[in-house]
Chain A
Amino acid sequence: MFLAIREMKHAKSRFMLIGLIMVLVACLTFIVSGLANGLSAATTSAIKEMNTDYLVFQADSDNKLNRSSLKEDKLDEIRAQEGVTAAAPLIQTMLTVASEQADKKVDVTLFAIEHNSILMPKVTEGRSLSGSGNDEVVVDASLKAKGVKLGDSLHIKDTDAVLKVVGFAEHQSISHMPVVFMDMEGLNSLMTSLDQRMPNLNAVAVTGDGAIKQTLTDKVEGIQIATKQEALKGIPGYKEEQSSLSMMLSFLVVIAAFVQAVFFYVITLQKTNQFGVLKAIGASTSYLATNLIGQVALLAIVSVALSIGLTFGMTSMFPDTMPFELGVGVLAPYSALLIGVSIVGALLSLRRIAKVDAIEAIGRVE
């Protein structure tokens, strides 16, 4: 590292410029990955957070909640199967509600569940559904940003029906809409009051031993069973959203690799004669290679570290409602990847260094 550090000190501006490009590319990588993560959460968190192993949908529904429709008797049939430890019904519907207090309309997804079933999320503020108060709801904490508070009433658009907020739960969002949890009985009485028929179930959440997937597929007709991961792919737009973002991310990583690889390659070409002299006075190829790798690694690590700082600086200016989530789980793998590809890119220059012959130093006038 004797040479590496002195060269970087001497040619500060050169290394700072390339470092700046690396910082910007890394920063963009982190922001896009944070966005991908945030969008993924906004689209799927309600399903991801579900305390279940499998979701049962109607056959040929492509694991889409809104396409699937299951009769009540299917639930009983599923519950009756061997190996099933719990089965919880779920009805999903879209609503537009207006908070009486905040005077603002919000689109939400209503999840009607049995209040004591596995689908009841953990309440982080307020209390859980009691099962007795028919108009009670537990809502996603993101509604707080829209001015909804505990005890608020939510008017359902075009009706006289009112829902009362008794609790908040974290990370309950689907298709960019906050989820409102309501007891099955509550929905029933709501429908009765609106003079409408109770809708069919959209899905049944099932937990049990490893064999239940096969058991259910064999024994219960007209259903399909999906793991949580498979169910996520059924959420409209999720797959498309994630694949376009991951394409951007892979391009960014490739760009980062090339930026450093080309920079060091050009510098190495420029220094061919100097490497000849160094080899002539006794430097081994591995000594020169270590110095080069040291430079690349140092530049990559410092750039990535700076860009993590920059990314957090920038994200603090993002609005709270922006779907953006950046944690160690995202930063660490992408940081390692960026540093890794930089070092792989340096191998291109290593080949040049290995090829330089010490004899270049003799008989040369500059």
Chain B
Amino acid sequence: MTDILVMDQVSKSYGEGDTVVTALNQVSLRVGKGEFVAVVGPSGSGKSTFLSIAGALLTPTSGRVMIGGTDVTAVSPGKLNRVRLEHIGFVFQSSNLVPYLTVIDQLRLVAKLAKCSDQIANDRAVELLKEVEMVHRMHHYPDKLSGGERQRVAIARAMMNDANLILADEPTASLDSKRGRAVVEMLAAEVKSRQKAAVMVTHDERVLDLCDRIVTIKDGVLISGDGEHSHNTVNQTDRMTAATR
């Protein structure tokens, strides 16, 4: 299995001298094709920093990040938007759709940015909206959609540029458990069928069973990154979920 996302000994610290705060400490992670990884941890543990670095939004202090074979730590900050456009699809927390674009235009915008032809973009957008069951709403504006529908559009948008890596930042944050689960199910299904590598930062334990692997960040350190351990975690979570039912 080829690894899409490779994070090698990545550290990020803020401040200087005595006031240095280390947000991430020597974090390494590999995510392969068709693999859906959940990153959990208490707030302030460095989850956001982790995702920002994996998403080429932030440059690490040390270490290396490879996305689809490209060393993004070597790319100049001015060109990072290009890397994000071509290699990464984002699903953010709530309402990160552009308010004045209709559902289909949200997707077409990504194609515009990539300078893709209109006809191809249209076909692809419609196909993706069918997959996330939003095609009947494609001429609506985001303010007419429910939270779950918006996240489904966001998933379709993340797939639009056919990126290898999908990053999701608390995609269930503003949803109730049923809708949240439906959104993550949809995300997992897309990741599997399209063979993407996906990383989801979340604190919603009810959706962890949909992930292949769970890693925990605590105080900037990745605790459970290896396969075996994570399977235990999944099993534990399963049991927990079963117990709460």
B223 within 8 A of A: no
In-complex Cβ contact of A358 among B51, B57, B99, B105 (8 A): B57
One of B28-36, B81-89, B124-132 at the interface? B81-89
Q: Are A277 and B113 in contact (CB under 8 A)?
A: no
Q: Are B96 and A282 in contact (CB under 8 A)?
A: no
Q: Which of A313-366 contact B (CB under 8 A)?
A: 357-359, 361-366
Cβ of A294 to closest chain B Cβ, rounded Å: 13
Cβ of B49 to closest chain A Cβ, rounded Å: 9
Q: Are A358 and B81 in contact (CB under 8 A)?
A: yes
Task: Specify which chain A residues have a CB less than 8 angstroms from the CB of B80 in the assembled complex.
Answer: 358
Report the interface size for chain B: residues with CB under 8 A from the other chain.
37
Cβ of B227 to closest chain A Cβ, rounded Å: 27
A279 within 8 A of B: yes
A7 to B114, CA, bound (A): 20
B161 within 8 A of A: yes
A151 to B92, CA, bound (A): 87
Q: Which of A1-37 contact B (CB under 8 A)?
A: 2-3, 6-7, 9-11
Q: Are A364 and B93 in contact (CB under 8 A)?
A: yes
Cβ of A355 to closest chain B Cβ, rounded Å: 13
Cβ of A112 to closest chain B Cβ, rounded Å: 71
The tally of CB-CB contacts under 8 A between chains A and B is 88
B68 within 8 A of A: no
Q: Are A282 and B99 in contact (CB under 8 A)?
A: no
A278 within 8 A of B: yes
Q: Known: A359-B52, A361-B57. Is A279-B92 also a contact (CB below 8 A)?
A: no
Q: List the interface of chain A (C-beta within 8 A of B).
A: 2-3, 6-7, 9-11, 274, 277-285, 287, 357-359, 361-366
| Given A7-B100, A365-B173: 9 more A-B contacts, CB < 8 Å | A6-B105, A9-B100, A281-B113, A282-B81, A282-B82, A282-B86, A284-B82, A358-B80, A361-B57
Q: List the interface of chain B (C-beta within 8 A of A).
A: 47-48, 51-52, 55, 57-58, 80-82, 84-86, 90, 92-96, 98-101, 105, 108-110, 112-114, 141, 157, 161, 169-170, 173-174
